[in-house]
Amino acid sequence: MPDRSTLLRVEHLRKVYESAAGEVEAIGDISFTMSAGELVCIVGPSGCGKTTLLKCLAGLLRPTSGLVEMDGSPVTGPNPTMAVVFQEYGRSLYPWLTVRANVELPLRHKKLSRAERDTLVADAIEAVGLPHAARSHPWELSGGMQQRVAIARAIAYQPEVLIMDEPFAAVDAQTRADLEDLVRELHGTRKISTVFVTHDIDESVYLGERVLMLSSSPTWVQEDLPIDLPPERDQLTTRALPRFTELRTHVYDQIQRAKRGSAAAPQSAH
Amino acid sequence: MTTHTGRIGPAPRPRGAGVRIASGFTFALGLPFLCVVAWGIWSTRSTNQFFPGPVTIFEAFVDTWAGRAIVDDVLPSLSRLAFGLVASIVVGVAAGTVIGLARWLRELLEPLLEFFRAIPPPVLIPVGMLLLGPTDTMKVVVIVSGAIWPVLLNTIEGVRATDSVMTETANSFQITRWERLWFLVLPAASPRIMTGVRQGLSVALILMVISEMFFSSSGLGYRIAYFQRNYLVAEMWSGILLLGLIGVLLAVVFGFVERRVLRWYHGMREVTRA
């Protein structure tokens, strides 16, 4: 029997790309579950199919086999319970629309009154700290601010799961720290369940309540590690905790093993 | 004086908007003005009757075009041009969007489109004459048959090249079909569409004149050909001058519209270049 609080269930997910050069197995066999309100980080060596996994979760790609279940019903395509924040903010925001119009666009087809829609948009823009930039165009803003707009667009959509695909890979280190705290804050205040894909080990440990470590391709879940750091996190003090160092060392070792391909394969693999 | 800080020299006077506009005009019109002057001097020494001086042509211009000719020739020409352009843009963008979005349709139509584009539109005048007679419709059809191609082909290309991440974003947020067309596909293609329209504009002007030169009883093309056949040389030149002015006016109007429609595009490019 599935747990009542289980929000997202992934079972034996496998994805094979057909290409001219033959079949490429991007994802071997991934299974995990996620409870409502969790913040799960997915980390793995580069080229391990993180983005593929995420697109399967979001219904943007059909898995070759296996199951993605959201609230007990299978995910067969994009659906309103999920919102994606893409890595390439510059290509995901529409440059001909203002910040406000970008955030509003996905809400247009939802059956909301004008006032409700305005409230959602204003609230989301406020939550990411950009009310002064609502009338600007995305290209007038810095990279970090653009990614904030993308986050605002996702939370205004009111998804049950926020899916983030290496969202901060293209911004500088200081901006990145601010954005990480924004994600923690949004998760804390709004209880949004979040799947956060990253290749940055420190980031995964700092952000996550759980870290899923993926093997190299064909991918399976190498380890599912609970992060037992206090929920109140701070860039300075949390990162200075001995436990933080232990956890990041552990994750780092696992990823190195994954890269060497020396980790044991799971029994259930096809 | 304690409040007086002492001036080291005259402060540079900020150039006002008036000065800037005046200098812009000087730059824009300076060379044309010099050309007219040179031509005037040259024509006083020349005895060639096919090249009258600017004063003669200017007089002919006023006599020929200020009056009934506006209603009889200029307005019919301009309305044919306007109809032809609007039809080219509407049909070109609509068909281009459909073809650009459907890959199979694009692959099916591409050879055919290349073939039709390669046909010089003026050869369709005799065909149009047979099928439609010496009507306004024939002339509009000829204009469309030439001006539609740059619009159509650029729209196809612009729609096809819509960024994959932008499309994926629309997919993941389940943007509806019409919203996608209006907020994603058309704006994304708009720089290419405007390029097509700009090319279509000059083609349309050429075809307007040519279509009026045959089987016609009104219009600028007709009038210019008439003057030429009757050795009304100054009048003929004044017609050519008018065509040039219409071309400039079209370019100015287009530039104005383009700057409004593509403000985001130019702004973005400036930011990326900086």
pLDDT at B19 over 90: no
Of B169, B190, B267, the CB nearest to A92: B169
At CB < 8 Å, which residues of chain A contact B? 58-60, 78-80, 82-84, 86, 88, 91-92, 94-97, 105-106, 108-109, 137, 139-140, 153, 157
DSSP string, A39-71: EEEEE--TTSSHHHHHHHHTTSS--SEEEEEET
Paired with A65 in beta bridges are A14
Neighbour tally for A83: CB within 10 Å: 25
Q: How confident is the model at residue B3 (pLDDT cuts 50, 70, 90)?
A: very low
Q: Does B63 touch chain A (CB under 8 A)?
A: no
The confidence score (pLDDT) of residue A266 equals 52
Closest residue in chain B to residue A95, using alpha carbons only? B264
Indicate if the pLDDT at residue B8 is higher than 60: no
* Residue whose tokens read 């290419």: B192
- Taking the Cβ of residue B169 and every Cβ of chain A, the question of whether any pair is shorter than 8 Å is answered with yes
- In SS3 terms, A116-133 reads as HHHHHHHHHHHHCCCHHH
Q: Measured between CA atoms, how close is A101 to chain B, in angstroms?
A: 10
Residue B12 pLDDT = 54
* Residues A161, A58 contacting (CB under 8 angstroms): no
pLDDT tens for each residue of A151-176: 999 999 999 999 999 888 888 888 99
Tens digit of each residue's pLDDT (9 = 90 or more) over A198-251: 988 999 999 999 999 988 878 888 888 898 888 888 888 888 899 999 999 999
What pLDDT does B10 receive? Answer: 52
Per-residue pLDDT tens for A11-66?
999 988 888 888 888 888 899 999 999 999 999 887 778 888 888 999 888 889 98
The percentage of chain B sitting over the pLDDT mark of 90, rounded to a whole number, equals: 48
Contacts with A58 from chain B: Cβ below 8 Å:
172
Best of A105, A121, A161 to mutate (most B CBs within 10 Å, chain B): A105
How confident is the model over A173-195, as pLDDT tens digits?
889 999 999 999 999 888 889 99
User: How does A135-165 read in b/e, with b if 16+ C-beta sit within 10 Å?
Assistant: eebbbbbebbbbbbbbbbbbbbbbbbbbbbb
Beta strands at A161-165 and A193-198: parallel, antiparallel or unpaired: parallel
Using H for helix, E for strand and C for coil, what is the string for B123-187?
HHHHHHHHHHCCCHHHHHHHHHHHHHHHHHHHHHHHHHCCCHHHHHHHHHCCCCHHHHHHHHHHH
Contact A98, A137 (CB under 8 A): yes
CA distance A177 to chain B (A): 25
Confidence of residue A267 (pLDDT cuts 50, 70, 90): very low
Cα-based distances in Å from A253 to A222, A247, A256, B77: 12, 10, 5, 78
Confidence of residue B130 (pLDDT cuts 50, 70, 90): confident
- Alpha-carbon distance of B246 to B81, in angstroms, equals 11
Give the amino acid at A128. Answer: V
B1 has pLDDT over 70 = no
Give the pLDDT confidence score for residue A45 in this predicted structure.
Answer: 82
Instruction: Return the number of other C-beta atoms located less than 10 Å from residue B2's C-beta.
Output: 4
User: Which position has the higher pLDDT, B92 or B72?
Assistant: B92
Any chain A CB within 8 A of the CB of B11? no
How many CA atoms lie less than 13 Å away from A200 in the CB half-sphere? 17
The four Cα atoms B102, B107, B109, B113 give a dihedral, to 10 degrees, of 110
**Is A140 close to B176, i.e. CB distance below 8 A?**
no
pLDDT of residue B6: 45
Closest CB from B171, B183, B267 relative to A94: B183
Please name which of A88, A45, A32, A34 lies closest in space to residue A201, comparing C-alpha atoms: A45
Q: What is the DSSP letter of B10?
A: P
Question: What size, in residues, is chain B?
Answer: 274
Whether B190 and A96 lie within 8 Å, measured CB to CB: yes
Name the nearest CA neighbour of A149 among A203, A197, A99, A193.
Answer: A99
Mutate to test the interface with A, among B167, B172, B184 (most CBs of A within 10 A): B172
**Taking the CA of residue B248 as centre, how many other CA atoms within 13 Å lie in the half-sphere pointing to its CB?**
9
**A44 and A215 in contact (C-beta within 8 Å)?**
yes
Q: Is B114 on the interface with A (CB under 8 A)?
A: no
By the 10 Å C-beta count (0-12 exposed, 13-18 middle, 19+ buried), A37 is classed as middle
Position B260 confidence tier, pLDDT thresholds 50, 70, 90: very high
Q: What angle do CA A202, A205, A211 make, to 5 degrees?
A: 125
Q: Which pTM value belongs to this model?
A: 0.84
The residue of chain A nearest to residue B169, with distances taken between CA atoms, is A92
d(CA A122, CA B68): 60
CA dist B86 and B204 (Å) reads 11
Question: What is the predicted pLDDT for the residue at B195?
Answer: 95
- Chain-chain contact of B267 with A140 (C-beta, under 8 angstroms): yes
Chain Cα centroid distance, residue A242? 26
pLDDT of residue A269: 42
pLDDT band at residue A88, thresholds of 50, 70 and 90?
A: confident
Q: Which of A83, A137, A139 sits opposite B173 (nearest CB)?
A: A83
- When pLDDT is cut at 50, 70 and 90, the band that residue A270 belongs to is very low
CA distance B133 to B117: 24
| Contact state of B176 with A82 under an 8 Å Cβ cutoff | no
The shortest CB-CB distance from B173 to any of A96, A106, A140 is to A106
B183 touches chain A (CB under 8 A): yes
Phi/psi for A235 (5° steps) reads: -55, -35
CA distance A254 to A260: 10
pLDDT of residue A262: 60
How much is the average pLDDT of B170-178? 92
Please tell me which of the candidates B166, B172, B271 has its beta carbon nearest to residue A60. Answer: B172
Question: Cα–Cα distance between A112 and B152 in angstroms, integer?
Answer: 37
Distance from CA of B274 to the nearest CA of A (A): 12
Instruction: Find out whether A39 and A208 touch, Cβ atoms under 8 Å.
Output: yes
pLDDT at res. B21: 81
- Quote the pLDDT of residue A49: 82
> How many other CB atoms are there within 10 angstroms of residue B50's CB atom?
10
Please name the member of B164, B179, B271 whose beta carbon is closest to the beta carbon of A140.
B271
Element (H, E) at B259: helix B233-261
pLDDT given at position B72: 84
pLDDT in tens, B190-215: 999 999 999 999 999 999 999 888 87
User: Which of B172, B176, B271 is opposite residue A78, by nearest beta carbon?
Assistant: B172
With both helix axes pointing from N to C terminus, report the angle between A143-156 and A114-127 in degrees, rounded to the nearest 10: 140
Q: Which domains does chain A have, with CATH numbers?
A: 1-81+159-270 (3.40.50.300), 91-158 (no CATH)
Better-predicted residue by pLDDT, B50 or B179? B179
Interface confidence, given as ipTM, is 0.86
Residue B63 pLDDT exceeds 80: yes
pLDDT at A1: 41
B179 in A contact zone (CB under 8 Å): yes
- Please name each of the domains of chain B with its CATH number: 52-273 (1.10.3720.10)
> What's the pLDDT score for residue B53?
81
